[in-house]
Amino acid sequence: MRARSQSWLIRTRHLLHEEREPPPLISHMMLIFSFLLILLSFPWCLFFCVKVVKEYQRAVIFRLGRLIKGGTKGPGLFFVLPCIDTMKIVDLRVLSFDVPPQEILSRDSVTVSVEAVIYFRVSNPVISVTNVNDAQFSTRLLAQTTLRNVLGTKTLSEMLSERDAIASISEKVLDEGTDPWGVKVERVEIKDIRLPHQLMRSMAAEAEAVRRARAAIIAAQGEKDASESLQTAADTIAQNKMTIQLRYLQTLTKISAQRNNTIVMPYPIEVAKHYMKKFHQKS
């Protein structure tokens, strides 16, 4: 595509730089007639011969169907010859348009609807007028086909996760395609990727199942960590008998902070066994 673009530029270079065939005699006669018409109708002809274009515009002027020297006029005030000069105003500002929703079949056979925004500007007014009938309309059509071709090589997951990369590739391909038309593509943005409702429900169910499985794994891991911590605490308490007494005092402190009237007093089993033995011996 780059080679094809360069060939177009080479073929249109003669419009401005190379020497062209001299105009026929009738062209000189019409030029003289135009000057005579200006002299006869002066100063009323100034209303038709003096033109003004704005800073962001250029006027591509054809004299008897051929580009004048330089190709364009403006910005500001300039003079045109009546009856033999025709001009077309070209806007050099950045323009934008929405690409209509495109039904695209992805590489993994999923149908999606994609919307995008294209920002472009005219970089060469002469070529945009001489090489293409309507540069803006042609850019719109090429943007649609380029978007379909680029997204058709991607899977659904790649479309959803690699929007910036897809926009960059589309911008590069579209810029190379519009280069022979004197159009420069500034930016391509993917607005929205719409999925079928049935596919959205399936993906939501799959995501919910994954979340539930992850929650179960986290809960099981928490139970495992808690049991290991309890085992470690039990081993630490078993090493010293006074540890249980300190733990008992901490428990009483927590209970008293909650303003409870009932306090459960633990009773050592060893003391109960001692008194039970004495009771059996007496009996």
Q: What distance in Å separates the CA atoms of residue 91 and residue 121, rounded to the nearest whole number?
A: 8
CA 184 to chain CA mean position, Å: 18
- Judge whether residue 25 has pLDDT over 80: no
Secondary structure element (H or E) that encloses residue 178, with its range: helix 163-178
Place of tokens 């073929």: 11
Phi, psi of 192 (to 5 degrees): -155, 145
Q: What distance in Å separates the CA atoms of residue 18 and residue 109, rounded to the nearest whole number?
A: 52
pLDDT score at 1 = 45
CB 189 within 8 A of CB 116: yes
| Burial class of residue 10 in the structure, from the number of CB atoms within 10 Å of its CB (0-12 exposed, 13-18 middle, 19+ buried) | exposed
Phi, psi of 240 (to 5 degrees): -140, 130
CB 122 within 8 A of CB 55: no
pLDDT digits (tens, 9 = 90+) for 51-67: 889 999 999 988 888 88
pLDDT digits (tens, 9 = 90+) for 108-162: 888 888 889 999 999 999 998 988 888 889 999 999 999 888 888 888 888 888 8
Arithmetic mean of pLDDT, 152-178: 88
Q: What distance in Å separates the CA atoms of residue 279 and residue 115, rounded to the nearest whole number?
A: 92
